[in-house]
């Protein structure tokens, strides 16, 4: 009782304590106080028990009323959300009484009673209002999106945000295209100084209902008369609230000079804090990056996680080709991500023109924004002057790259004969995001079969003596007529001209080469035919033979582009052809295959439909020798080859059936038990 008494005197002044309670509603503290007097301390314990009972009763009643009222008043929230308290919610007033079910998404109407005229009065550059931050309309639209699972970390929400109306005009058509794909819930939040009505914003930008954009009015109160600092703070607060209710998988803004500085500053602070990728589109985005509208939220969430390294194995006497390749790399567009790290393997004897070119070669290219002058170029120069053997060459090459995170780092292998189009990097990023990270790819584990993504369509089979005719897709033009259309396809044969190898498969190739060389060293010659026979022409480097064996034993495939797309990505020249060093002596005079050339044009126009990437299920599938097949056929041929491989290795009889389950260590192929 002493404690309660002291607390009472903390809350009420002596005067208040002495006053009668007539003017106050009876609450627990005054109620207790009314019974507290110096004499009450000496009362019998029975009266104390009674008092406590009364207190407990009152408390219980309060608790009951509180609990009873919760569901009606507070939105249901994710309990795992780390830091979010009621104080924060107060900025979002007024909340609607109940979360609405998600309709076919009407935008939140601004409550502003001011009619907006057709020609807006010029927006004041900067006001001075700096009051407490309130979002009048944001609560309503955020409460209405609970069906999108926005309170959970994993969902399908994509957020576009803009402050400047010009930036909104850049973003809305992109958001509209993405919305119509129906692969993600596309949200658009306006954090503007402008008081434009949303209806007008939609009308001006031609946003129809078919765009399926969910609008959020994230403008702070008194936005038009606010100081820039207040608007900047409001941006970070708005993102905080949006994050709590939406957990967007990616945030897309206009990073160009059209956008307000206070907005971009707020975004660049707050979005990385939310651990969400931020895509800042630049002025060319509508044409160059239009493929991002085809991606789903899962792909976009991996936007800044993937990294691509480039690996070039140069040979002596081929300066012209190498310089042509490096120039094409430097001229390419890397606006869809960071510039890849570039590693060039130089031979023992570096040609003078190459050395001279490399002296001034800038990587990242000078055209790329690089404020810290970071260098991303590694030159490796071989010591040994004697020619490489097949074995040495394979080891040296496969050692040149190692993925730090195999799920996210990949390597683009380039032959010095290749020349790339300025758009190749867009295609690579688009394909990696779609074929490795999209919801469909993750659910169906597409990447488990995918060895690589080729930019080039080879003109011959791997033995370089037979022309390769790419498969076509039959497309029904009308009821009676069908026509053949060029299509991307899956081929068990790998390549080395211009191919991205996925991180996981590179790791496996590394282990395969390591074990194959170990086996060769231990085996007394002659080697079993399966190791000694070469299926691949000596025009290709020796490590490719290992990649083919791995593909044959596992049923892996490489994705090849259709003919029109290939012409848009890369060309492999033959006029300055130089054999790989390990085969130089064998390959002086070979007939040159016919050469393709790069066709200029937007990337998406060469892709089927409106620029979509085909699903793996919709592509023709070829065995390594070009025979059309299906998944069952591929698996059967892989099982046969693996069995033959194990027979040649010998010693697999002692392995338990469990040890023969394919695994990344490739121990099952080389008859070694993994620990
Ligand atoms: C080259 O490979 C193709 C396809 O595997 C095959 O049909 C052809 O017989 C091979 N040519 C030679 C000379 O081995």
Higher pLDDT, 83 or 174: 174
Q: Tell me the helix, strand and coil percentages in the chain, rounded to 5.
A: 40, 15, 45
3-state secondary structure 111-174: CCCCCCCCCCCCCCCCCCECCCCCECCHHHHHHCCHHHCCCCCCCCEEEEEECCHHHHHHHHHH
Do 621 and 628 form a contact (C-beta atoms < 8 A)? yes
| pLDDT average, residue stretch 212-219 | 94
Which atom of ligand 1 is found nearest the CA of 463?
Answer: 1
Q: How far apart are CA 217 and CA 214, in angstroms?
A: 10
Q: Please answer whether residues 325 and 312 qualify as being in contact, where contact means their C-beta atoms are separated by less than 8 angstroms.
A: yes
Rounded CA-CA distance 568/457 in Å is: 11
Find the 536 Cα to ligand 1 centroid distance in Å: 10
- Spatial distance between the Cα atoms of 276 and 291, rounded to a whole number of angstroms: 20
pLDDT at 89 over 80: no
Q: From ligand 1's centre to the CA of 534, what distance in Å?
A: 12
Ligand 1: atom nearest CA of 625 is 5
Which of 622, 625, 629 is the best mutation target for the ligand 1 pocket, counting ligand atoms within 8 Å of the beta carbon and taking the most?
A: 625
Kindly tell me if the per-residue pLDDT of 607 is higher than 60. Answer: yes
- Mean pLDDT in the chain? 80
Compute, in angstroms, the gap from residue 114 CA to the centroid of ligand 1: 78
Minimal-distance CA residue to ligand 1 atom 9:
466
What is the distance between the alpha carbons of residues 492 and 66, in angstroms, rounded to a whole number? 66
Looking at the CA of residue 624, tell me the nearest atom of ligand 1: 5
Summarised one tens digit per residue, pLDDT across range 479-516 is 778 888 889 999 999 999 999 999 999 999 999 999 99
SS (H, E, C) 623-639: CCCCCEECHHHHHHHHH
The pair phi, psi for residue 188, each rounded to 5°, is -130, 120
**Residue 520: which pLDDT band, with cuts at 50, 70 and 90?**
confident
pLDDT for the residue 593: 54
Instruction: Identify the weakest region by mean pLDDT among 399-413, 509-523, 592-606, 641-655.
Output: 592-606
pLDDT value of residue 595: 57
For the Cβ of 461 lying below 6 angstroms from any atom of ligand 1, the answer is yes
CB-ligand 1 contact for 460 (6 Å cutoff):
no
Instruction: Please state the atom number of ligand 1 nearest to the C-alpha of residue 466.
Output: 1
Distance 468 CA to ligand 1 centre (A): 10
- Residue 590 — very low, low, confident or very high, per pLDDT cuts 50/70/90? low
Q: Is 624 in the pocket of ligand 1 (CB under 6 A)?
A: no
- For ligand 1, is residue 465 a contact (CB within 6 Å)? yes
Among 75-79, 158-162, 495-499, 525-529, name the one with the lowest average pLDDT: 75-79
pLDDT at 416 over 80: yes
- Distance CA(417)–CA(325), nearest Å, equals 7
Q: Please give the structure tokens belonging to residue 161.
A: 């945000």
- Ligand 1 center to 461 CA (angstroms): 7
Tally of CB atoms within 10 A around 256:
17
Q: Tell me, in angstroms, the distance from the centre of ligand 1 to residue 273's CA.
A: 56
Distance 659 CA to ligand 1 centre (A): 35
CA of 623 to the centre of ligand 1 (A): 13
E strands, 147-297, are 157-162, 185-190, 213-217, 251-254, 278-281
**149-173 per-position pLDDT tens digit:** 888 888 999 999 999 999 999 999 9
Average pLDDT over residues 508-536: 87
Q: What is the CA 507 to chain-centroid distance, rounded? A: 21
Q: Which of 408, 405, 396, 499 is nearest to 451 (CA)?
A: 499
Of ligand 1's atoms, which has the minimum distance to the CA of residue 462? 2
Which of 24-33, 335-344, 559-568, 591-600 comes out lowest in average pLDDT? 24-33
What are φ and ψ of residue 131, in 5° steps? -75, -175
Residues 270-281: pLDDT tens digits?
Answer: 999 899 999 999
Question: What does the block give as tokens for 147?
Answer: 């069906």
Instruction: Choose one of 459, 460, 462, 463 to mutate for the ligand 1 pocket test, by most ligand atoms within 8 angstroms of C-beta.
Output: 463
Ligand 1 centroid from CA 8, angstroms? 97
* SS3 (DSSP) at 451: strand
Share of the chain above pLDDT 90, in %: 46
* Protein residue with its CA nearest to atom 13 in ligand 1: 465
Is residue 248 exposed (0-12), middle (13-18) or buried (19+ Cβ within 10 Å)?
Answer: buried
What was the pLDDT predicted at 131?
82
Q: What is the pLDDT of residues 31-44, one digit of tens each?
A: 333 333 333 434 44
* Across 454-460, average pLDDT: 93
DSSP-H helix ranges across 164-227: 165-181, 198-204
Ligand 1 center to 507 CA (angstroms)? 30
Q: How confident is the model at residue 438 (pLDDT cuts 50, 70, 90)?
A: very high
Of residues 212 and 59, more confidence is placed in 212
Residue 387, C-beta contacts closer than 8 angstroms, at least 6 positions apart: 581, 582, 584, 585
Q: Whose CA is nearest to atom 8 of ligand 1?
A: 466
| C-alpha 621 to ligand 1 mean position (Å) | 18
Please tell me the number of Cα atoms within 13 Å of 471 on its side-chain side.
19
Q: Determine if ligand 1 sits within 6 Å of the CB of residue 466.
A: yes
Please report the domains of the chain, with CATH numbers, ordered by start residue: 89-116+125-301 (3.40.50), 307-660 (3.90.550.10)
Residue with the larger pLDDT of the pair 243 and 320: 243
pLDDT for residue 373 is more than 70: yes
**What does the pLDDT read at residue 612?**
87
Nearest CA, atom 14, ligand 1:
463
- Considering only residues 603 and 135, tell me which one the structure prediction assigns the higher pLDDT: 135
């Amino acid at each position: 009782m002493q404690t309660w008494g002291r607390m009472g005197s903390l809350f009420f002044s002596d005067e208040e304590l002495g006053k009668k309670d007539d003017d106050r509603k009876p609450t627990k503290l005054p109620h207790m106080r009314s019974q507290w007097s110096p004499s009450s301390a000496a009362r019998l314990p029975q009266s104390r028990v009674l008092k406590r009972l009364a207190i407990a009763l009152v408390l219980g009643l309060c608790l009951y009323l509180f609990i009873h009222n919760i569901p009606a008043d507070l939105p249901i929230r994710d309990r795992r959300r780390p830091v979010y308290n009621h104080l924060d919610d107060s900025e979002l007033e007024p909340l609607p009484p109940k979360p609405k079910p998600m309709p076919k998404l009407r935008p939140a109407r601004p409550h502003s009673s001011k009619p907006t005229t057709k020609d807006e009065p010029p927006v004041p550059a900067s006001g001075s209002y700096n009051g407490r931050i309130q979002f009048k309309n944001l609560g309503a639209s955020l409460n209405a999106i609970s069906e999108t699972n926005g309170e959970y970390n994993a969902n399908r929400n994509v957020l576009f945000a803009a402050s400047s109306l010009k930036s909104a005009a850049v973003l809305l058509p992109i958001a509209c295209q993405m919305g119509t794909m129906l692969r993600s819930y596309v949200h658009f939040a306006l954090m503007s100084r402008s008081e434009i009505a949303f209806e007008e914003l939609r009308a001006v930008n031609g946003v129809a209902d078919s765009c399926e954009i969910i609008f959020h009015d994230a403008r702070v109160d008194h936005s038009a008369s606010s100081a820039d600092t207040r608007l900047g703070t409001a941006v970070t607060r708005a993102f905080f609230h949006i994050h709590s209710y939406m957990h967007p998988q990616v945030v897309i803004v206009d990073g160009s000079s059209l956008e307000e500085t206070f907005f971009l500053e707020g975004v660049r602070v707050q979005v990385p804090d939310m651990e969400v990728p931020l895509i800042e589109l630049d002025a060319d985005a509508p044409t160059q990056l239009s493929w991002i509208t085809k991606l789903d939220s899962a792909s976009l969430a991996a936007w800044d996680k993937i990294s691509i390294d480039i690996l070039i194995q140069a040979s002596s006497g081929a300066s012209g080709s190498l310089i042509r390749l490096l120039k094409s790399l430097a001229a390419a567009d890397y606006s869809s991500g960071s510039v890849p790290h570039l590693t060039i393997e130089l031979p023992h004897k570096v040609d003078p023109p190459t050395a001279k070119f490399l002296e001034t070669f800038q990587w990242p290219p000078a055209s790329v924004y690089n404020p810290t002058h970071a260098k991303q170029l590694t030159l490796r120069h071989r010591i040994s002057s004697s020619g490489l053997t097949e074995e040495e060459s394979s080891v040296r090459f496969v050692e040149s790259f190692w993925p730090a995170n195999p799920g996210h780092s990949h390597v683009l292998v380039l032959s010095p004969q290749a020349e790339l189009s300025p758009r190749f990097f867009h295609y690579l990023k688009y394909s990696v995001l779609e074929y490795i990270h999209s919801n469909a790819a993750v659910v169906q584990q597409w990447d488990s079969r995918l060895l690589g993504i080729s930019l080039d369509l080879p003109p011959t089979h791997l033995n370089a003596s037979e022309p390769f005719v790419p498969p076509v897709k039959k497309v029904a033009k009308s009821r009676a007529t069908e026509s053949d259309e060029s299509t991307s396809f899956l081929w068990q044969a790998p390549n080395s001209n211009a191919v991205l190898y996925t991180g996981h498969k590179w790791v496996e190739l590394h282990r395969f080469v390591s074990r194959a060389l170990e086996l060769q060293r231990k085996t007394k010659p002659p080697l079993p035919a399966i190791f000694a026979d070469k299926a691949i022409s000596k025009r290709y480097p020796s490590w490719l033979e290992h990649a083919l064996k791995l593909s044959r034993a596992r049923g892996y495939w490489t994705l090849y582009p259709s003919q029109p797309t290939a012409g848009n990505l890369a060309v492999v020249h033959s006029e300055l052809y130089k054999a790989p060093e390990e085969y130089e002596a064998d390959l002086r005079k070979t007939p040159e295959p016919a050469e393709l050339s790069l066709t200029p044009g937007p990337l998406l126009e060469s892709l089927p439909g409106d620029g979509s990437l085909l699903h793996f299920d919709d592509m023709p599938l070829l065995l390594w020798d070009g025979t059309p097949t299906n998944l069952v056929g591929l698996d059967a041929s892989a099982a046969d080859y693996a069995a033959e491989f194990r027979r040649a290795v010998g010693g697999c009889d002692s392995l338990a059936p469990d040890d023969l389950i394919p695994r990344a260590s490739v121990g099952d192929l080389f008859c070694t038990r993994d620990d």
